[in-house]
Chain A
Amino acid sequence: MVNFDLKIQVMIKIKQVHKSYITGQNSLHVLKGIDLEVGAGEMISIMGASGSGKSTLLNILGILDNYDSGEYLLDGIKINRLSERKAAQLRNKMLGFVFQSFNLVSFKNAMENVALPLYYQNVPRKKRNLIAMEYLERMGLKDWAHHLPNELSGGQKQRVAIARALIGKPKVILADEPTGALDSTTSLEVMDILQEVNSTGITLIIVTHEHDIALRTQKTIRITDGNITEIIKN
């Protein structure tokens, strides 16, 4: 099917996605039929109270979790009950993650952390370390390349994590409370970087509960109790 529409290409499309968690005899219906479309190169934020289902949605978008019913297309690829192997390959090629708690490997230095996705693309060590250095330089962390994560500040850690998310040349970056553990000045710096990343054409989805962070995205999606209740253009 050829798309004659002049609308920008759709990167993420989910239709009527449901997800329940079964804990013992109770079933917790977390996502109750989510519909969402994110265009390529868009930068959106997802807001909601804790327990509203926003993290679950992000995990499904990141192919870290399965959904029960509905449909999810990532860049036209149908994502449904993939094998672990296939899911891993897609994550590696298509997605980048930025977490609130940074999730750097504690015994690897900044450069090795950044290079890790390339390890799973079978890029030779020397080459991937060289590429990692380039990305660190872009983040202004060249001098910190050989430091371990616990020798870095929170902002520096998050910049390392962003470099790691970028190195695999993903189409989408998913950020789960990327500024949640940072002070306001550092938060602004990180958001500047993320906006810069977005300007290179990478789709960005940020989960946050901070309004001024959400305001810096193009669209804010509010989730309440497993449903999308509001879509605000900023």
Chain B
Amino acid sequence: MFEIDKWQEIYSTVRKNKLRTFLTGFSVAWGIFMLIILLGSGSGLENGVKEQFKGGATNGVWISSGQTSLKYKGLKTGRQIKFTNEDYKAIKTTVEGYDRISARLFLGNKLISYKKEYGSFFLSPCHPDYGYIKELDVIQGRFLNIIDINEFRKVAVIGEKVKATLFKGADTMALGKYININGVIFQVVGIFRDYSRNDDEQKRVYIPISTAQRVFQGENVINQISFTTGNASAGEADLMINKSKAVLAKMHTFDIEDNRAINVWNKNEEVRKFKALFAGIRLFIWIIGIGTIIAGIVGVSNIMMIVVKERTKEIGIRKSLGATPWSIVLLIMQEAIVITSFAGYIGLVLGVGLLELISKNMPPSEFFRNPEADFSVAVMATILLIMAGAIAGFFPAMKAAGVNPVEALRDE
């Protein structure tokens, strides 16, 4: 069925019918090319948005204190809720299933200096787990640890950009150096990189929350409690959040339904929303992609119809010389398959090439980066097109093979 002679026969007909071959091939190549571009654009969009989610575990939950908006047990609205270390401890001991947990204190921007260099940076006191929750990449030294908290050590982990501002020239080694934070001396123990796209989040200085409370505040207030939900399901994560709310509502006497008393930001849910959005986009791309492929199929079958019509006489001649009907069917179909697979491959290469060119030369924007085609999808589409070409060629070929040679030869 696939002996060399048959291929030579196909090659000689293809070579001698260049325009027809080109037209058949073009519709296929175009279909695949468009599909690749579409898929690539979709993945570019998805990569762009994924980038927005960097910097912070995707299973993180952030709970901040706010003002009450509902009357509760005779208490008026507008009360400022103030979290303390007790709240942190209560959640830590009563909520089950969380992975890491940390409290944070918001002290705002502080003047930080090293020798003659200085800058205003966001001071962010926290527990050691926050490095994990925020997905910080410690590139030098270490992050905060439990001993820092327990012993109220004056140590700081600074952002790469903070380091770049404070440590210049010959003094580039920051680890172990002492920096002045609002008049208090802290030792630099680590340098982190934050992959978040927000520039400010890279210009932070993390210090032990216990030290901050003692040095800068003199009380046990905290502003935010955050934890990660491990590999809990969406429902389990919601349970943890509700449990935390209940604990806080009881400790601060506010209505658990009051959404302003505390603010909960559940990244889990945000990610889920975007996943749903991208499932929708992917479906949309597939619908368009399948539409493009159908256009390709129609194009191929159209041209195969013309091919068969055009070759009716030739088929009649071949039959009179002893060609069996099956050999005629194979001749037409193999030609269709050879042309579609070859053209599909060209479309594939051109599409992938263009995407490569775009992703190399286009600066990554907010919502679009690294367009890439799923190669297996493209190969699948090509196989689909080949099958479509075969099917499109099959019925006209069957018809042609069934044609009475008498009539075919009479056809002038």
**Residues in B neighbouring A101, C-beta threshold 8 A:** 409, 412
Would you call B12 and A112 a contact (CB within 8 A)? Answer: yes
* B12 touches which of A93, A108, A117 (Cβ 8 Å): A108
**Chain B binding surface SS class:** helix
B17 contacts A by Cβ under 8 Å: yes
Would you call A65 and B406 a contact (CB within 8 A)? Answer: yes
* B323 touches which of A62, A106, A120, A168 (Cβ 8 Å): A120
Would you call A64 and B404 a contact (CB within 8 A)? Answer: yes
Stretch at the interface among A2-10, A83-91, A131-139, A217-225: A83-91
A199 contacts B by Cβ under 8 Å: no
Would you call A59 and B324 a contact (CB within 8 A)? Answer: no
Would you call A88 and B17 a contact (CB within 8 A)? Answer: no
A80 contacts B by Cβ under 8 Å: no
Q: Considering the complex, which residues of chain A in the window 133-181 have a beta carbon less than 8 Å from any beta carbon of chain B?
A: 164, 168
**Cα distance, A62 to B320, chains bound together (Å):** 8
Interface readout for B325-358 with A: 1 if CB under 8 Å, 0 if not? 1110000000000000000000000000000000
Smallest Cβ-Cβ distance to B4: which chain A residue: A125
**Residues in B neighbouring A122, C-beta threshold 8 A:** 5
**Residues in B neighbouring A65, C-beta threshold 8 A:** 404, 406
Given A105-B317, A107-B17, A119-B9, are A93 and B406 also a contact pair (CB < 8 Å)?
Answer: no
**Residues in B neighbouring A104, C-beta threshold 8 A:** 317
Would you call B317 and A103 a contact (CB within 8 A)? Answer: yes
The count of residues in chain B whose C-beta lies closer than 8 Å to any C-beta of chain A is: 27
A67 contacts B by Cβ under 8 Å: no
B405 contacts A by Cβ under 8 Å: yes
A72 contacts B by Cβ under 8 Å: no
* B321 touches which of A84, A92, A106, A112 (Cβ 8 Å): A92
Q: Considering the complex, which residues of chain B in the window 168-225 have a beta carbon less than 8 Å from any beta carbon of chain A?
A: none
**Residues in B neighbouring A120, C-beta threshold 8 A:** 318, 321-324, 327
Smallest Cβ-Cβ distance to B320: which chain A residue: A97
* A105 touches which of B5, B314, B401 (Cβ 8 Å): B314
6 smallest CB-CB distances across A and B, nearest first, come from: A92-B322, A107-B16, A120-B322, A88-B324, A117-B321, A84-B325
Given A91-B319, A103-B313, list of 20 further CB < 8 A pairs? A64-B404, A84-B325, A85-B324, A85-B326, A88-B322, A92-B322, A93-B322, A101-B412, A105-B317, A105-B318, A107-B12, A112-B12, A116-B317, A119-B9, A120-B321, A120-B323, A122-B5, A125-B8, A164-B321, A168-B321
6 CB-based A-B contacts, threshold 8 Å: A84-B324, A88-B319, A103-B317, A107-B17, A116-B321, A117-B321
